[in-house]
Structure 1
Amino acid sequence: MLEVFKGGVPVIPTLERWYEEFKLEGYGAMIPFIGIVRPDNGIEGLSFDLYLPMLNEWFKKWQNLDDCKITMAHSFGDVMVGETSFLCAIFTKHRTEGFKYLEEFVEDFKANAPIWKYDLINGERVFAKDRAKELPGAGILSEE
């Protein structure tokens, strides 16, 4: 399950909905990760662009795990300091594999999800090139 929200992700209602949907599916652990916008370098927030068709394709690769269910929500547009831009939850039978999948999923997300980040400074979007990663096949942002 992949969800996209304009602005900050509503954390509590989203986690509650996911919990209710999957609590009786035989999973013994639900391990969430909540990405909160930090006030680094005096930014007011972050702004995100994403390419949904490519994001859906990337996310589908994570839906083929037999012993795990992954849910994810991400923002597009502006997300202010203290709000959540990224939320995911890993559902597994046991916590040990859940923590393993969480680490792998978040690292793959950071490296390969087609989402571009901008700093919000004085009401302006400034591309965060120093924190951007190149995406294969992504035109000007790719090495190809």
Structure 2
Amino acid sequence: MIEIFKGGIPVISTIDRWYEDAKLEGFGAMIPFIGIVRPDGDIEGLSFDLYLPMLNDWFKKWQNLDDAKIMMAHSFGDVKIGESSFLCAVFTKHRKEGFKYLEEFVEDFKANAPIWKYDLINGQRVFAKDRAKKLPGAGILK
């Protein structure tokens, strides 16, 4: 499941809801990852664009795991310093598999999810080209 939030993600209530939804499904571990917008240079925050149909297609391959369940939330629009723009949780029977899936999922997300990041500087969105990666098949970034 992917959830999209305008602005920062309400981390605690989202994690609580995910836990409540999955706690009786036979998992022994819930391993969350919370991405926090940090102060970096002159930025006031980050801003995100995303293409939901392509994001859903990318996420589908993570929904066919036999031994794990993955939930994800991401922001679009502006996210201030100290707020969360990315949240995911991996549910598995055992923690070792959960940590393995978490690392694979986050690395795949960073490399392939159709989300574009901008720095917020003096109230303006500035494309973060130096931190952007070309998406396979997208033809957007060079």
TM-score (norm 1): 0.97
Runs of 4+, deviation exceeding 4 Å:
none
The Cα of 1:15 is off from its aligned counterpart by 0.2
* Secondary structure of the structure 1 residue equivalent to 2:41: helix
1:28 aligns to 2:28 (yes or no):
yes
Partner of 1:120: 120
**In the alignment, residue 37 of structure 2 is paired with which amino acid?**
V
User: Is there any run of 5+ residues in structure 2 with no aligned partner, and where?
Assistant: none
C-alpha distance in 1, partners of 2:89/2:140? 32
**In the alignment, residue 51 of structure 1 is paired with which amino acid?**
Y
Partner of 1:95: 95
The Cα of 1:6 is off from its aligned counterpart by 0.3
1:13 aligns to 2:6 (yes or no):
no
User: Is there any run of 5+ residues in structure 1 with no aligned partner, and where?
Assistant: none
Amino-acid identity (%): 85
Give the paired residue count.
Answer: 142
CA root-mean-square deviation: 0.7
**In the alignment, residue 100 of structure 2 is paired with which amino acid?**
K
TM-score (norm 2): 0.98
**In the alignment, residue 115 of structure 2 is paired with which amino acid?**
I
**In the alignment, residue 56 of structure 2 is paired with which amino acid?**
N
**In the alignment, residue 79 of structure 1 is paired with which amino acid?**
V
